[in-house]
Structure 1
């Protein structure tokens, strides 16, 4: 194997190793307080890593995808500001945010692919879930061209394997491709916490307002 090439076997891990990686990852997350936690499925030994973030977007994104009257817009804006103030107390930028989405990320182990898989769902703060088309249109510009070439085999919607609810999913075959820039950066910085997804919002969301 030539220098610099990756060992294909290193792309896979068993479930025991996944759990160990999760423990180490969550310890680091607690240290830096970035909000990851472990969600245990009641009555089973199964679980997943979870993180919820609020992501500001350009107001035009929501207006294009979900038309509403000016009165409704004012009500949504008021609700957004109230909710953001509740969930991100002390953030001065709240008054400047006109549209906010809530992203809930889950990292699960896939027995079929033998890798971590990213599931997520997105909604406005008033509870309206985003459609698959809206999620596609909100992908970071750096990844949009690749998504347009094969949207159905990159970001799709399917049932959450542990919760039985509709979620979006980054296809396992695309995980390494989408994570390569983050992995390369972490490796260059000799950062061992790059085992898997650290900040998925940087991949799935556009630049902030």
Structure 2
């Protein structure tokens, strides 16, 4: 499949190309039961969607007492003096340990085409089991540390909250301002090496894990075996 280019030489994705890549992506999703669907909004507009339940370790006070002083290793501690014993008793009666327990969060991911950036955009929203939506602060807390620095200081942009332009509802979004810059060397390299490639697979493999969305390796395997033939 031929590519379009901006004036600066970076690759841009047309909406028809976007839909073709998405349909090929969903075809493999159906084969492996990965849960992606295509939602048609208007005659010529649509988007990919997937719902994913994710277990997050959250800290809750469960009344478990901490029998150790901070900085003391219990199995090697020296015998406590009478004064220290009294201090420990007070500490045990007044302090509760923070114990991690799994919290189930429902993530809803949308892959939508942006005509402004001529690139796909990853929208998502999340809520707890009781239906309470996560705030932006909580979304950031669930981003793995290895991605936070890239988001804040690197070329990936950042997580913001804005209106879903097809649904008119508030969603979180990974800002797409640098998408073309990121994807250009990938698509150029594939063209020069005459390799089959799916733009959506490559892009989502980079963006998805930032917000808890993994892309199974079989998508890339399917590409290499010619299932996503772009000729």
Post-superposition offset of 1:13: 1.1
Equivalent in the alignment of 1:85: none
Alignment match of 2:118 (pick from 101, 114, 120): 114
Q: Which residue is 1:47 aligned to?
A: 46
Q: Distance in 1 between matches of 2:204 and 2:38?
A: 14
Residue correspondence of structure 1 range 147-186 to structure 2 within 5 A:
147-149=151-153, 153-175=157-179
TM-score between the two structures when normalised by the length of structure 2:
0.59
Deviation for aligned residue 1:47: 1.1
> 1:129 pairs with 121, 130, 133, which one?
133
Distance in 2, Cα, partners of 1:99 & 1:174: 33
> 1:202 and 2:201 equivalent?
no
The answer to whether the aligner puts 1:13 opposite 2:13 as a matched pair is yes
Provide the rounded CA distance (Å) in 2 between the counterparts of 1:148 and 1:141: 11
Tell me which protein shows more strand as a share of its residues.
Answer: 2
Answer 1 or 2: which has greater helix percent. 1
The alignment of Structure 1 onto Structure 2 pairs a total of residues equal to 161
Matched, 1:142 2:146: yes
Q: Which residue of 1 aligns with 2:32?
A: 32
Q: Which runs of 4+ in 1 moved over 6 A?
A: 176-180
CA RMSD of aligned residues (A): 3.4
Q: What's the offset of the Cα at 1:138? A: 1.2
Aligned pair in 2 of structure 1 residues 175, 52: CA closer, same or farther (>3 Å)? farther
Give the TM-score, by structure 1 length: 0.64
- CA 177–12 in structure 1, closer or farther in 2 if over 3 Å, else same: closer
Cα distance, 1:177 vs structure 2: 7.9
Q: Provide the secondary structure at the position in 1 that maps to 2:13.
A: coil
Report if aligned partners of 2:49, 2:110 keep a CA contact under 8 Å in 1: yes
Write the mapping of 1:89-100 to structure 2, written as runs, cut at 5 A. 98-100=102-104
